Structure 1
C-alpha cells in the first residue's frame, strides 16, 4: 500500500536499527527528571509524587528511596562528594546523602511571584549545578537562589539570592565557565561571576516574547534562547582576555557571500534566519534598537539573530560539548545549527522521524555529532548529524535516525545520554528504561550503519521536490514578515 505523508521510519522495511532495551522499571508516577551519578552507578528519578528513587544502573533495582518533597519533586542533580540536590513544591531545596539515603540539609528557597502548591508551600524549579558540582541554583518565581556547599557535609551551605527579575523564570542554567543564565518573559539575564560585586555581575538582555529555555557556548560568545513564538533568539558577544564578555556588533561579512551587517554607530543589526516546512532559508535584515547595559562596556552594541520556521514553541536548546553545534527542538523536528563560525549563511540540519512533538533532547557526551531526541510518540531516536544529506542545493540537510527505540506511544518525559552509548529515558506511564546503541558486527557494519544519514525514499524525495517547484512563492511557516 502506498504511503501518504512522511514515512514511518519505525517500520522494519526502512531498516533503521533498534536500540537495545537493557531494562524497564515501572514506577507509580511519571518521571519529571533524571540524573546520573558522577561514577555512573546510580540513576536518580524524580516523579510527580513526593519520592525520589535511586536506581542501580546495572540492574534497574531500587537502591534507595528518598523522601523527596511534599506536593512533588521538580528537579534533582548530583553534587560533589556523595550528595544529591533536589527541589520541589514545598518551597525547599534538600541535600541528600546518597550512600545512607538520608537528608543532610533542608534549605528554604526565597520566592517572589512563585506558584503555590496547596498547603505545602511555593514551587521551586529549574535546578542547575555549577562546574565542579559544589554550587547549585534554583528558581522560585522571579528570584534565583544559589547554594554553595560548606567545607564538610555537616556544614550548612551558604546562600545568595539574585533578582527579582522582570517576570517568572522559565529556565536556569550554569554555563561551562560557572556563569549563570536565566530566561523569562521579555528577555534573559546573564551573570558573569568573573566580575566583582562592585562591577555589577548581571547583564539583562531584553527581547520581545517569552524565552522558555537557554544555553551558552563553552567559550561564552553566544547565548541562545528558545521562544514561545516558535523562534530561537541568539546574542553574540566579544570575549575579553580575562574571560569576561563585551557586546560587539560585527561589521564584516560572514564568509558565505552575504553583505556585511548594517550598523549605525552603537546600533546593532538583527537578522532573521527562517527555515520552514518547504525547506527553504530566507535572510532578512531588520534595524533593531541597541542593548547597552551598565555591567559591560558596549561600544558596538550586541549582534542579535532570530531563527524561525519551527512548527511550534521551542522548548529545548542545547550546545554539544565542543559548542560548535546547537540543537533546537520545536514540533516534531530538531533543527541543528552550525556554530563553528557565525551561524548566518549556514545550512541547518533537520532531524526527521518523530510522529509527535519532541519533549527532550541530549547530546552524547563522548562522541561528537550524536544527538538523542525523545517525543510524545514514545520514540527515542539517535541521529548522527555528521551523516546528514542535502535534499536540494541550497536547502537544509536532512538527518534520519541511525537507531531508534519504540515504546508503543509511551511519551518521553526525561532523557539522559550517558557515555559508552548508554541512554536512560523516563516515560509518562511511569517507566524508566535503559538503552544501548546497537553495535554492528564486522560482516554487516555497512548495512547496519547505513540508515543514519540516508535520504528519504527516492520516490518521496522526488515528489517533494516537484511540490516545492510547483509552489515557488509559498513562504515557509514562521518566516519573518
Structure 2
C-alpha cells in the first residue's frame, strides 16, 4: 500500500493505493475498512489513512462491516467470514464453505452474517448465538430492525423477519423473485428490496401492504434510505432515482432523477437530514447531489463532480464532512467536503 500527496484543489485529505481491488467500504467512529476482491481487508485511520490492521479471508471478500464502536470488523466472502479485534489485532477465520455475501452489526456486541441459505447471529467474540432456519435459496442481504431486536433476511421468494433466538420467521413478506438488495427505513415503517427483475418492491411493515415500482432498464442492486427514512435512492438505470416516502409513501408518485453516470456503481447518503447524496460511476466520476430538491419528475444536476481515473467501486461517509471513495485500480481517497448544509 502506498500513499500519494493530497490534492488540495479537490479537498483530498489522503490518497492511497491497495494491492487488491476494493469491493466494499465501511466506516465507524475513527476507522475506515477497505475490503479487497482477493480477500485482503485493510483497516485505516479515517483522519489520515494510516494503516491500523489487516484481515485476510481465504477465497476473497465480498463485504466488510465495522462495529459501531470500531472495536471489531467482520468480513464476508465466498467461503466464509472473518472477525478482527482491534484491541490486539487478532483475526478469527471461519471457512464454512458457504457463500457469505452480507454482514450487519446489530450493536457493538452482535452481528449477523449470511451463510448459504441461513443467517448466523454471533457475538463480538465470534460465538454463534443463534441461526435462522434455511431459506429457499442463498440469502442475499439482511438488515436489522427495531434497534437490533428483529432481523430481516432476503432470499428468493420473500423477505423473512426473525426475532432474537428464533430460527423460524415471525413475519414473512412474499415476492416471487430474486432479491439483490434490502433497505429498511430507519423508522422501520418500510422494507424495500431491489430485484433481479428490474424492480423495487415495497412493504409497509404495519399491515403488510405492498407496492412494486417496475420498468427499470436494469436490475436494481443498490438501495439506500437517508437518515430521516423519508427518501430512498436506487440504481437500475443511468439515472439514480430518489423516491419520496413521506406521508403515505411513494404510491402514485414519480421519483426525482439524478443523471451523471452511464452506469451507476455506488451511492451513499451524507449523514444528516439535508438530502445530500454521493453517487459513483463506472467512468470514475463521483457526483454530489442535493437529491431531495425540486419536485417529483424533476431531473436534477450535480452540485459538484469529482473526477477519478478508474471505475468507482464503493463510497462511504466517515462523518458528515469526509467522503471515502474506492476505485477498481486500487485507489482509495478521502475527500473533505464543506459543511453539512453546503456542497
TM range (shorter): 0.7 to 0.9
Matched, 1:24 2:12: no
CA offsets 1:266-298 (integer angstroms, 9 cap, x no match): xxxxxxxxxxxxxxxxxxxxxxxxxxxxxxxxx
Q: TM-score, normalised to structure 1's length?
A: 0.64
Task: State the Cα distance separating 1:108 from its structure 2 match.
Answer: 5.9
Matched, 1:171 2:141: yes
Matched, 1:94 2:64: no
Rounded Cα–Cα distance in structure 1 between residues aligned with 2:279 and 2:318 = 13
Rounded Cα–Cα distance in structure 2 between residues aligned with 1:174 and 1:374 = 26
Q: What secondary structure is seen at the aligned counterpart in 1 of 2:102? A: strand
Task: State the Cα distance separating 1:107 from its structure 2 match.
Answer: 4.2
Q: Is the 8 A contact 1:225 1:234 kept in 2?
A: yes
**Match of 1:229?**
197
Q: Is the 8 A contact 1:76 1:84 kept in 2?
A: yes
**Match of 1:416?**
316
Rounded Cα–Cα distance in structure 2 between residues aligned with 1:229 and 1:423 = 32
Task: State the Cα distance separating 1:314 from its structure 2 match.
Answer: 0.7
Rounded Cα–Cα distance in structure 2 between residues aligned with 1:173 and 1:165 = 16
Rounded Cα–Cα distance in structure 2 between residues aligned with 1:311 and 1:417 = 28
CA pair 308-19 structure 1, distance change in 2 beyond 3 A: farther
CA pair 52-165 structure 1, distance change in 2 beyond 3 A: same
Higher relative contact order (CA 8 A, sep 6+): 1
Runs of 5+ unmatched residues, structure 1: 1-17, 110-120, 151-155, 239-246, 248-301, 453-481
Q: Is the 8 A contact 1:212 1:228 kept in 2?
A: yes
**Match of 2:6?**
none
Runs of 5+ unmatched residues, structure 2: 1-8
CA pair 351-97 structure 1, distance change in 2 beyond 3 A: same
**Match of 1:50?**
39
Rounded Cα–Cα distance in structure 1 between residues aligned with 2:142 and 2:134 = 14
CA offsets 1:296-355 (integer angstroms, 9 cap, x no match): xxxxxx32111123231111111111111111111221111111112123332111111x
Q: Which has the higher strand share?
A: 2
Matched, 1:128 2:104: yes
**Match of 1:311?**
217
**Match of 2:337?**
437
**Match of 1:137?**
112
Task: State the Cα distance separating 1:148 from its structure 2 match.
Answer: 2.1
Rounded Cα–Cα distance in structure 2 between residues aligned with 1:175 and 1:374 = 28
**Match of 1:205?**
173
**Match of 1:362?**
268
Task: State the Cα distance separating 1:145 from its structure 2 match.
Answer: 0.8
RMSD: 2.5
Which of 231, 241, 252 is the equivalent residue of 1:345?
Answer: 252
**Match of 1:292?**
none
Rounded Cα–Cα distance in structure 1 between residues aligned with 2:253 and 2:50 = 46
Task: State the Cα distance separating 1:28 from its structure 2 match.
Answer: 1.2
1:222-371 to 2 correspondences below 5 Å:
222-238=190-206, 247=207, 302-342=208-248, 343-354=250-261, 356-371=262-277
Higher mean alpha-carbon deviation, 328-337 vs 179-188, is at 179-188
Q: Is the 8 A contact 2:120 2:128 kept in 1?
A: no
Q: What secondary structure is seen at the aligned counterpart in 2 of 1:387? A: coil
CA pair 333-419 structure 1, distance change in 2 beyond 3 A: same
Task: State the Cα distance separating 1:407 from its structure 2 match.
Answer: 0.8
Q: What secondary structure is seen at the aligned counterpart in 1 of 2:156? A: strand
Task: State the Cα distance separating 1:382 from its structure 2 match.
Answer: 1.1
CA offsets 1:23-50 (integer angstroms, 9 cap, x no match): 2211112111212232x2x211110123
Q: Is the 8 A contact 1:23 1:434 kept in 2?
A: yes
Rounded Cα–Cα distance in structure 1 between residues aligned with 2:109 and 2:153 = 19
**Match of 1:377?**
283
Rounded Cα–Cα distance in structure 2 between residues aligned with 1:397 and 1:432 = 32
CA pair 43-81 structure 1, distance change in 2 beyond 3 A: closer
Task: State the Cα distance separating 1:406 from its structure 2 match.
Answer: 0.8
Q: Is the 8 A contact 2:324 2:332 kept in 1?
A: yes
Rounded Cα–Cα distance in structure 1 between residues aligned with 2:304 and 2:10 = 6
What is the aligned residue count?
332
